[in-house]
Amino acid sequence: MDETRDAEIARLLSGGSVAEHEPGYWDALRAAVAPEFAVLELGALHRPRPRKRRLLRLGLAAAAVAAAAVFAFAVLPALRGTDTATAADMLASMNAAATGKAHVVRLSVKEAGETRPTPEQLILSTSGDVRWVVKGRRETSYWTQDERRHETMSLGVVTPDDGNSVLAIERPSWGANIYETWPCGNIQALAGSLRAQLAEGDPEAPVSETTYLGRPAWQAVLSEHWAGNAEHPEGATTTWNVIVDKETGLLLASGMGFPEADGREHPPEGYSFWVTRIQVDPKLPDGWQRLSQRGQERILIQDYGTRFGTPQSVAKRSWPTPVLIPRRVPSGYRLTDVAITYFQGMRSPKDEAKLVYHSRRPHPYKAEWIRTSVDGSVRRVVARYRRGFSSFVVDVRPPARGDAELGEFGTNLLDGADGKLTAGYLKGQLAGTSISPNGSQGPTLLARSGRYTIAIYGDLTRQELLDVANSLTATGGAGE
């Protein structure tokens, strides 16, 4: 490999550490299981959640530019290398890998941003199982998703151990705290955005075939220009250096730089990372996607009212909010989950829960929030499709009270600037699309119908987003 080119890649992908849990994180979780808090409603508890990685578009100084940006993405020649392939070759390879033979990958990951990257290990399976381990200086954090059981588990172990570490278990769980956060959500969102950009760019644009960690890989450098506005007329241009594993189609390195006032390029948080080791279909112990309860002194089990089922059974729960299922999906995708689940701003007097203590002694200590009543009409209705390590979601959201999070959508999404849909349940409705990473959701389409906001997000190209939206049909009540 070319030493000059490798040095440039290293500069782009050089990095930093991952921040520790937010201040008061574990104190709040421990307080949640204390006897004196037994009378609190479920909404007063702090849900255990991993560090939410908000992807910065251009940095704080240029946030106003990003809000009104025109997205122009072009594949550029690889750094000082011999161009041996085209963007079309890279896209075809990523599409083929999506239905390949690999079922599980174990990645060692480091994230750019500061001076000392924190070691992280991420295990992904095509069934949706995840294990994520972050080793800090004083605390090791574990997060798992057992897709078959629909169960999310998290644990922080402090060194020296004060004996108060809490094993938090959410069940049933849609997995938002795993699938929509760093590193799993962000890596998948970046990969989906890359595939969508390749589908819209010049198919003859040159890319390089290379090796990464001894494995055949693709390398490309992409350029993204954000148009200016009245406050920032100059706009801004970012560069994005990516490396994709040929066998699995997974994004193994992402180095993004954007200009700052000091004239240097800085990697936005969450966009820049690199894999230091990859193992395909390694031998793993049974139950790797779960954390053992054995020996845990404090356990908190939480039920936020997520309920799974068939499209028909979920539609009965969610009435009048409809379950929307597409008649057409891209080749290889299969429906794996349909559920109702919570979201910020959701309120209903019909939602009730009680706190049950299985053990009230200081050590061991086990408590469980049990839902005694679930109001499905105020919850998101979600359907997930999987293909290899990729996925996309159809998300139907009823009106919310207060500020409900819809994700990091740009102005074009919120205003429906792309035009009207032509068929299906949303025929005639305005829709907006974005093939940016959109927080940790990936390429996204947003539309509204009556009282409902419909989002489609995940590993889809812009045309695939539109095709799915134009084929949606309602199962159960439409409830306009």
Q: What pLDDT, in 10s, does the model give residues 182-212?
A: 888 888 988 999 999 999 988 998 899 999 9
C-alpha dihedral sign at 316, 317, 321, 327: negative
**Are 316 and 259 in the same domain?**
no
Q: Does residue 289 lie in a domain region?
A: no
Q: Does residue 480 lie in a domain region?
A: no
**Are 244 and 332 in the same domain?**
no
**Are 341 and 275 in the same domain?**
no
**Are 315 and 211 in the same domain?**
no
Q: Does residue 296 lie in a domain region?
A: no
Q: Does residue 445 lie in a domain region?
A: yes
**Are 210 and 316 in the same domain?**
no
340-396 pLDDT per residue, tens = 998 776 778 788 888 888 876 666 678 888 888 888 888 999 999 999 999 999 999
**Are 334 and 470 in the same domain?**
yes
pLDDT at position 166: 87
Residue 201 dihedral angles phi and psi, to the nearest 5°? -80, -175
**Are 83 and 180 in the same domain?**
yes
**Are 89 and 181 in the same domain?**
yes
**Are 189 and 333 in the same domain?**
no
pLDDT at position 3: 43
Q: Does residue 285 lie in a domain region?
A: no
Q: Does residue 287 lie in a domain region?
A: no
Higher pLDDT, 251 or 27: 251
pLDDT at position 7: 42
Q: What is the mean pLDDT of residues 406-430?
A: 71
Q: What is the mean pLDDT of residues 168-188?
A: 90
**Given a cut of 50, is residue 61 above it in pLDDT?**
no
**Are 308 and 271 in the same domain?**
no
**Given a cut of 60, is residue 52 above it in pLDDT?**
no
Higher pLDDT, 181 or 286: 286
Higher pLDDT, 236 or 218: 218
Q: How many separate helices (H) and strands (E) can be counted in the chain?
A: 9, 27
Q: Does residue 158 lie in a domain region?
A: yes
pLDDT at position 113: 62
Q: What is the mean pLDDT of the chain?
A: 76
Structural domain for 44, as ranges: 3-280
**Given a cut of 70, is residue 55 above it in pLDDT?**
no
* Whether this model's pTM surpasses 0.85: no
Q: Which residues contact residue 282 at a Cβ distance below 8 angstroms, ignoring those fewer than 6 apart?
A: 104, 106
Give me 38's structure tokens: 């037994």
**Number of domains the chain is built from:** 2
**Given a cut of 80, is residue 77 above it in pLDDT?**
no
**Are 118 and 264 in the same domain?**
yes
Q: What is the mean pLDDT of residues 325-349?
A: 90
Q: Does residue 16 lie in a domain region?
A: yes
**Are 222 and 348 in the same domain?**
no
